[in-house]
């Protein structure tokens, strides 16, 4: 198979610093050598490649934007490029890194005590301690404010009762960031160690998407958590701050999936012979390739500019919603177009597009569905919250 070539129609490379390009190229080589050769087998078997965790840690991908605590401390544009390259390999790998950093390490860094940071972050940066993020519930996904998990004060502790659903990394996590309502119906967050009594996990095995990722249900039955483990934040602004970082990373990650599919479609169409010539010579196939190529170019510009805004702390949640919504929606479309160009070959594990297509069904849903992000943007431009 021809080596991967990333599309760069508008010379976007020149807008990255040498450090940013070095980070991207290092991850690109890692994905090509360590992830691509084995990921289809893991996907087929429904297993996560745990052997990659030490390497991902050594590359500085875990909590990469955090300053100190043995984290890499890179800028958000570099973080985006990391997510782009990892999702070129598989959405499940990017999800693992995204959850570990943006959803678990970030809230400890932003809302935890200094003791929390010293206790958890270095181990998490090294991949020695895996985290998960407990917000979504069986009956409350798009409306997290409706959660029913409770945290009842009892002396120096809180008693957690409830369940969290669709939790990435849950089955292998040693610590969870869990959100619940306290006695005053305020949403509060806790750092919950996995070995606490009353904390159990059930893995979700039968799924056709994100098969190379661990997805779980977290169950809390009179789980006693010390009050000292509470995060210093109240209300939805806590979980939403985490989600916005994760959504930002997804907007870049989806580009990686798009670029992988486009590269596969282009190479296949130039070598697949029908009616005595390559199918790339037919107008309809060229039209499909051009649509993907153009979408990717526009997505690259959107992601780059958003990254620069995030580095300046100027990115609004609505900006991130647009990028997550559009880049993921396009990636799913591109995976489907690629499957179409590849014909029957597109449903086999020999090629990537079918795996990306199924994975992106989940990526298009989690961290805010496409429709929810449309409503966020609708609220932004009209001032009217249609979801209330």
* Rounded mean pLDDT, 164-184: 97
Helical spans, DSSP H, in 150-236: none
Q: State which H helix or E strand residue 252 sits in.
A: helix 237-271
Distance, CA of 320 to CA of 318 (rounded, Å): 5
Domain ranges of the chain: 12-125, 131-233, 237-382
The 10s digit of each residue's pLDDT in 97-130 is: 999 999 999 999 999 999 999 999 999 999 999 9
Which tokens is 127 given? 């991949």
158 pLDDT higher than 70: yes
The pLDDT score that the predictor gives to residue 340 is 98
270 pLDDT higher than 80: yes
Alpha carbon 249 to its chain centroid, in Å, reads 6
DSSP letter, residue 4: P
Which tokens is 86 given? 């990892």
Helices 283-311 and 237-271 cross at an angle (nearest 10°) of: 150
The pLDDT score that the predictor gives to residue 378 is 96
Confidence of residue 387 (pLDDT cuts 50, 70, 90): confident
Distance, CA of 357 to CA of 209 (rounded, Å): 9
317 pLDDT higher than 70: yes
C-alpha distances (whole Å) from 51 to each of 34, 38, 39, 118, 326 are 10, 11, 12, 25, 33
pTM score:
0.96
CATH class held by domain 237-382? mainly alpha
Confidence of residue 1 (pLDDT cuts 50, 70, 90): low
Comparing CA positions, the residue from 24, 47, 43 lying closest to residue 90 is: 43
In a 3-state reduction of DSSP, which class is residue 161? Answer: strand
Other C-beta atoms lying within 10 Å of the C-beta of residue 91: 31
Q: What integer best gives the mean pLDDT of the chain?
A: 97
303 pLDDT higher than 70: yes
Distance, CA of 101 to CA of 260 (rounded, Å): 24
* Annotated catalytic residue within 58, 291, 367, 370: 367
For the chain, the C-alpha Rg in angstroms (whole number) is 21
367 is known as an active-site residue: yes
142 pLDDT higher than 90: no
Distance, CA of 306 to CA of 308 (rounded, Å): 5
* Rounded mean pLDDT, 248-273: 98
CATH class held by domain 12-125? mainly alpha
Domain 131-233 bears CATH identifier 3.40.1190.20? no
């Amino acid at each position: 198979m021809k080596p991967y070539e990333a599309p760069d129609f508008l010379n976007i490379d020149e807008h990255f610093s040498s450090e940013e390009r070095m980070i991207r190229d290092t991850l690109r080589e890692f994905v090509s050598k360590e992830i691509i050769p084995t990921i289809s087998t893991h996907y087929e078997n429904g297993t996560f490649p745990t052997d990659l965790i030490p390497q991902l840690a050594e590359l500085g991908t875990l909590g990469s934007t955090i300053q100190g605590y043995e984290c890499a401390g890179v800028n958000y544009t570099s973080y985006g490029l990391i997510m782009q390259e990892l999702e070129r390999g598989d959405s499940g790998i990017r999800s693992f890194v995204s959850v570990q950093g943006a959803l678990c390490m970030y809230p400890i860094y932003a809302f935890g005590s200094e003791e929390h940071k010293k206790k958890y972050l270095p181990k998490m940066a090294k991949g020695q301690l895996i985290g998960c993020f407990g917000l979504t519930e069986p009956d409350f996904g798009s409306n997290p404010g409706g959660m029913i998990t409770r945290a009842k004060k009892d002396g120096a502790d809180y008693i957690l009762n409830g369940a969290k659903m669709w939790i990435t990394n849950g089955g292998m996590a040693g610590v969870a960031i869990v959100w619940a309502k306290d006695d005053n119906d305020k949403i509060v967050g806790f750092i919950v160690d996995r070995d606490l009594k009353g904390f159990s996990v059930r893995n979700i095995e039968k799924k056709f998407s994100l098969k190379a990722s661990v997805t779980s249900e977290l169950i809390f039955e009179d789980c006693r958590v010390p009050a000292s483990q509470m995060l210093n934040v109240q209300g939805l602004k806590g979980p939403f701050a985490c989600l916005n970082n994760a959504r930002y990373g997804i907007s870049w990650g989806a580009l990686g999936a798009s670029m992988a599919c486009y590269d596969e479609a282009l190479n296949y169409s130039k070598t697949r012979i029908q009616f005595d010539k390559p199918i790339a010579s037919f107008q309809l196939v060229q039209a499909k390739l051009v649509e993907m190529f153009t979408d990717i170019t526009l997505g690259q510009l959107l992601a780059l500019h958003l990254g620069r805004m995030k580095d300046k702390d100027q990115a609004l949640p609505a900006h991130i919603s647009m990028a997550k919504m559009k880049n993921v929606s396009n990636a799913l479309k591109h995976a489907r177009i690629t499957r179409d160009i590849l014909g029957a070959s597109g449903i086999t594990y020999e090629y990537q597009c079918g795996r990306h297509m199924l994975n992106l069904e989940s990526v298009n849903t989690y961290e805010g569905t496409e429709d929810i992000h449309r409503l966020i943007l609708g609220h932004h431009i009209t001032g009217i919250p249609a979801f209330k």
